[in-house]
């Protein structure tokens, strides 16, 4: 998406409101993140939530009691056939993203799917193909590309202030933060651990800032040394299920791109570090950037200058969800550009998959 398209977003939303038509929106997966979506949707007048689907009756009851969603289903086929929504919002564990998205596309719905796009690149391709065949949109829930710090850097990059990007260091590190809900510790249902769960966030936003070059090779290493055994050490969320834990605690990856740039990624649920880190730093031929501090590093007036944003809009988590769902709603209603189309999800998935494949193979692997 171009800079000017970013700038026209609020105008497009105003226009959508004037169109007067509401998007009939249905959820598949009514767990934790769907409630964050629902709170954001409450601020987007052009969306009307019409149904929810979950395999857990207690989640469906919560949708009815707390969010007033009357039509609830345990099977998405029933929901799609009876409700015929415009949009399906897939908020299930990763292993269900592909079948739910494909079913929704085949039923003629636009799809927005939470991150990561799916379990692996082959599934992502199936989802893109199904959406294309149906002539419908598929969007990935990458909210960090709507973060004001990300947008600030992308504007600087587009304006040529950074030059060619050489190196990007991405970190999504928790000192001790194994999720104690959902199936985040189960590889067969999630595709992996911290790299696919939180590494994906920092990689996708950094990759967006780099202008989305094509990844060509990956190396990676993964280690499990704490999550799969009982521990008396405090965790951010108590009592995770160590008995079913089959994912990595720490993953380190290295990606090479077709333009010569490289990206290093570090991601952990458990790591012996001073504190949690969620950041990326970029080094280019003309400038650099620290995402967390929203600071651009350049040379000017015969010296080295640090340019820190004096003002940025809200970086609050909920605001990012409003931005990402609005961008998609506008795309559905008005045909404006999606900032995170399926192809962006597929490219990021190829990078994650390359890191995991390399960790298994013990050598660098090609990304096709």
Ligand X SMILES: NC(=O)c1ccc[n+]([C@@H]2O[C@H](COP(=O)([O-])OP(=O)(O)OC[C@H]3O[C@@H](n4cnc5c(N)ncnc54)[C@H](O)[C@@H]3O)[C@@H](O)[C@H]2O)c1
Binding site for ligand X (CB under 6 A): 28-33, 53-56, 59, 91-94, 96, 114-115, 141, 143, 181-182, 197
**CB-closest chain residue to ligand X:** 31
The residue (of 54 and 249) whose beta carbon lies closer to ligand X is: 54
Instruction: Please list, in sequence order, all residues whose beta carbon lies within 8 angstroms of the beta carbon of residue 327, skipping any fewer than 6 positions away.
Output: 9, 139, 146, 336, 338, 339, 340
- Write down the least CB distance from residue 324 to ligand X, Å: 8
The rounded distance, in Å, linking the Cα atoms of 99 and 126 is 9
- Write down the least CB distance from residue 329 to ligand X, Å: 17
The rounded distance, in Å, linking the Cα atoms of 263 and 298 is 20
- Write down the least CB distance from residue 351 to ligand X, Å: 16
Find out whether 171 and 308 touch, Cβ atoms under 8 Å: no
- Write down the least CB distance from residue 13 to ligand X, Å: 20
Angstrom CA distances, 201 to 102, 108, 175, 346, stand at 23, 29, 17, 14
Parallel, antiparallel or unpaired: strands 287-290 and 250-257 = unpaired
Find out whether 29 and 60 touch, Cβ atoms under 8 Å: no
- C-alpha triplet 332, 333, 334: angle, nearest 5°: 100
- C-alpha triplet 305, 152, 288: angle, nearest 5°: 40
- Write down the least CB distance from residue 320 to ligand X, Å: 8
The rounded distance, in Å, linking the Cα atoms of 93 and 74 is 15
Angstrom CA distances, 85 to 78, 309, 324, 339, stand at 12, 41, 19, 22
- Write down the least CB distance from residue 37 to ligand X, Å: 9
The residue (of 80 and 282) whose beta carbon lies closer to ligand X is: 80
The residue (of 29 and 253) whose beta carbon lies closer to ligand X is: 29
The residue (of 87 and 165) whose beta carbon lies closer to ligand X is: 87
The residue (of 30 and 104) whose beta carbon lies closer to ligand X is: 30
The residue (of 53 and 209) whose beta carbon lies closer to ligand X is: 53
The rounded distance, in Å, linking the Cα atoms of 299 and 302 is 7
- Write down the least CB distance from residue 285 to ligand X, Å: 33
Q: How many helices (H) and strands (E) does the chain have?
A: 13, 15
The rounded distance, in Å, linking the Cα atoms of 365 and 355 is 8
The residue (of 35 and 307) whose beta carbon lies closer to ligand X is: 35
Q: Which two tokens stand for residue 252?
A: 């380190």
- Write down the least CB distance from residue 35 to ligand X, Å: 8
The residue (of 165 and 178) whose beta carbon lies closer to ligand X is: 178
């Amino acid at each position: 998406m171009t800079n000017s398209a970013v700038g026209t977003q609020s105008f497009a939303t105003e226009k959508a409101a004037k169109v007067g038509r509401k998007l009939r929106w249905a959820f598949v997966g009514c767990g934790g993140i769907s409630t964050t979506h629902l709170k954001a949707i409450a601020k987007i007048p052009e969306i009307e939530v019409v149904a929810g689907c979950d395999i857990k009756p207690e989640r469906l009851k919560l949708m009815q009691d707390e969010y007033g969603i009357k039509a609830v289903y345990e099977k998405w086929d029933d929901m799609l056939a009876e409700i015929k929504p415009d949009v399906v919002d897939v908020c299930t564990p990763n292993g269900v993203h592909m079948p739910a998205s494909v079913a929704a596309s085949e039923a003629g719905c636009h799809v927005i799917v939470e991150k990561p796009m799916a379990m692996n690149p082959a599934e992502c391709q199936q989802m893109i193909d199904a959406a294309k065949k149906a002539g419908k949109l598929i969007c990935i829930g990458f909210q960090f590309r709507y973060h004001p710090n990300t947008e600030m850097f992308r504007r600087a990059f587009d304006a040529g202030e950074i030059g060619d990007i050489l190196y990007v260091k991405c970190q999504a590190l928790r000192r001790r933060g194994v999720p104690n809900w959902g199936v985040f510790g189960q590889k067969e249902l999630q595709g992996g651990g911290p790299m696919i769960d939180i590494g994906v966030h920092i990689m996708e936003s950094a990759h967006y800032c780099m202008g989305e070059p094509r990844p060509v090779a990956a190396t990676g290493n993964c280690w499990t040394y704490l999550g799969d055994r009982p521990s008396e050490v405090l965790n951010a969320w108590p009592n995770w299920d160590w008995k079913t834990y089959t994912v990595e605690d720490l993953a380190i990856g290295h990606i090479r791109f077709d333009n010569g740039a490289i990206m290093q990624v570090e991601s952990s649920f458990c790591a012996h570090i001073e504190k949690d880190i969620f950041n990326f730093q970029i080094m280019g031929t003309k400038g650099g950037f620290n995402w967390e501090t929203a600071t651009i590093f350049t040379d000017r007036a015969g010296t080295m200058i640090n340019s820190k944003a004096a003002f940025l809009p809200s970086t609050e988590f909920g605001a990012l969800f409003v931005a990402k769902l609005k961008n998609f709603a506008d795309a559905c209603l008005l045909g404006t550009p999606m900032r995170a189309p399926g192809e962006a999800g597929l490219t990021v998935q190829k990078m994650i998959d390359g890191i995991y494949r390399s960790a298994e193979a013990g050598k660098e692997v090609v990304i096709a």
